[in-house]
């Protein structure tokens, strides 16, 4: 049975109107889309972002809402700054993190600092200065590693294949621990490949689809490594709905939820779909580079039935439409993302 989106939207509006809401990584891809939606819902929104160039922050992402949000350029690793910022907030959407799997292997200490130690600092600041805040953490399907079975549910063994996955697993575990031990209401969403407007496309640090889109719009061929791997993809609006749903639910406290997408496709078929929507372009199938193949997880797609049943969430945007909207956005805004 499909969720009643009218009732969900009414619930979100009733819950978030006037709420003081803090988003870490708020000028990044998912954070900026979440911020725009919260502004529509009448929330009082503060964004925290380091705007470090190797990560996803981009002030163009919040151009349309810049007069309606408060922006604090700071790093979540700064305990004193964050302790001040979290005070009096009703909700914290904790999206800040290092997302590049390869960067985590070449600079593991930076990944440890951002995805593990900094998450503990965030939670300590909440415990000390605002223990009543509700915290929603952006986790990742990468913590599962190479699946033992498909689709992957939340009971699957956690066996990450790279440093990023290990540190994200620790960050998620800290949030669950602080919920269970200190009563700090926290929950986590294990995101799959999230796509859509405002994602990083200048390189593959955030998602491989980003560099595909950049090269396609520049009239250059792109590479698909392997091609047979199966994946699911979540359009960013659907991911935002998932964040809003768990943020508004006491049932979600202490829980972790998979967030999936609309159907499953191979990477080669995804590339063909992207080119067909664009009306032209080329790609080449290539063998995985050795350094990448060592940390590739193979096929992955999520069983997100728990999120659907607990919170009546379901993806609403089909993959083809998600690609069409994403391409349209970058055709109009490409210069701001290179």
**Tokens coding 9:** 């939207």
81 domain-assigned: yes
Is 167 part of a structural domain of the chain? Answer: yes
pLDDT for 1 equals 43
Q: Where are the alpha helices (DSSP H) in the chain?
A: 5-16, 29-40, 79-85, 101-106, 108-112, 118-129, 163-182, 208-217, 236-247, 267-278, 290-293, 305-311, 319-333
Taking only the tens place, the pLDDT of each residue in 158-192 is 999 999 999 999 999 999 999 999 999 999 999 99
Residue 25 forms part of a structural domain: yes
Q: What is the CATH number of the domain that holds 312?
A: 3.40.50.720
Question: For the whole prediction, is pTM greater than 0.75?
Answer: yes
Q: Give CA–CA dist 22/172, Å, rounded.
A: 18
Q: How many domains does the chain have?
A: 1
pLDDT tens digits along 117-172: 999 999 999 999 999 999 999 999 999 999 999 999 999 999 999 999 999 999 99
Going by C-alpha positions, the residue among 100, 103, 91 that lies closest to residue 26 is 91
Q: Residue 273 — very low, low, confident or very high, per pLDDT cuts 50/70/90?
A: very high
Q: What is the pLDDT of residue 189?
A: 98
Q: What is the pLDDT of residues 1-20, one digit of tens each?
A: 455 566 778 889 899 999 99
Q: Is residue 270 part of a domain?
A: no
State the pLDDT confidence band at 85, using cuts at 50, 70 and 90: very high
- Nearest CA among 264, 231, 15, 18 for reference residue 136: 15
Instruction: State the residue range of the domain holding 130.
Output: 5-196+234-261+302-316
Task: Assess if residue 293 is contained within a domain.
Answer: no
Is residue 276 one of the residues assigned to a domain? no
Does the residue 46 lie in any domain? yes
């Amino acid at each position: 049975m499909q969720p009643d989106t009218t009732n969900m939207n009414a619930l979100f509006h009733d819950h978030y109107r006037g709420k003081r809401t803090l988003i870490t990584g708020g000028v990044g891809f998912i954070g900026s889309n979440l911020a725009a939606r919260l502004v529509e819902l009448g929330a009082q929104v503060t964004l925290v972002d380091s705007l470090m160039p190797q990560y996803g922050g981009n002030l163009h992402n919040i151009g349309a809402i810049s007069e309606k949000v408060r922006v604090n350029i700071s790093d979540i690793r700064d305990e004193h700054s964050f302790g001040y910022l979290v005070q009096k907030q009703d909700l914290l959407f904790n999206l800040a993190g290092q997302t590049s799997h390869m960067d985590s292997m070449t600079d593991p200490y930076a990944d440890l600092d951002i995805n593990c130690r900094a998450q503990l600092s965030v939670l300590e600041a909440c415990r000390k200065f605002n223990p009543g805040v509700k915290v929603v953490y952006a986790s990742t399907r990468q913590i599962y590693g190479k699946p033992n079975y498909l689709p992957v549910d939340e009971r699957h063994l956690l066996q990450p294949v790279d440093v990023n996955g290990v540190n994200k697993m620790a960050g998620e575990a800290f949030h669950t621990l602080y919920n269970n031990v200190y009563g700090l209401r926290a929950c986590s969403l294990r995101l799959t490949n999230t796509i859509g407007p405002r994602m990083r496309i200048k390189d593959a640090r955030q998602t491989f689809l980003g560099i595909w889109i950049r090269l396609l719009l520049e009239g250059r061929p792109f590479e698909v490594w392997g091609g047979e791997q199966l994946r699911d993809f979540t359009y960013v609006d659907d991911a935002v709905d998932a964040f809003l749903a768990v943020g508004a639910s006491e049932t979600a406290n202490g829980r972790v939820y998979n967030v999936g997408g609309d159907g499953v496709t191979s990477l080669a078929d995804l590339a063909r779909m992207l080119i067909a929507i664009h009306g032209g372009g080329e790609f080449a199938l290539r063998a995985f580079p050795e350094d990448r193949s060592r940390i590739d997880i193979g096929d992955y797609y999520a069983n997100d039935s728990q999120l659907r049943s607990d919170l009546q969430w379901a993806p609403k945007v089909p993959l083809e439409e998600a690609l069409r909207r994403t391409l349209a956005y970058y055709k109009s805004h490409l210069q701001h993302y290179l």
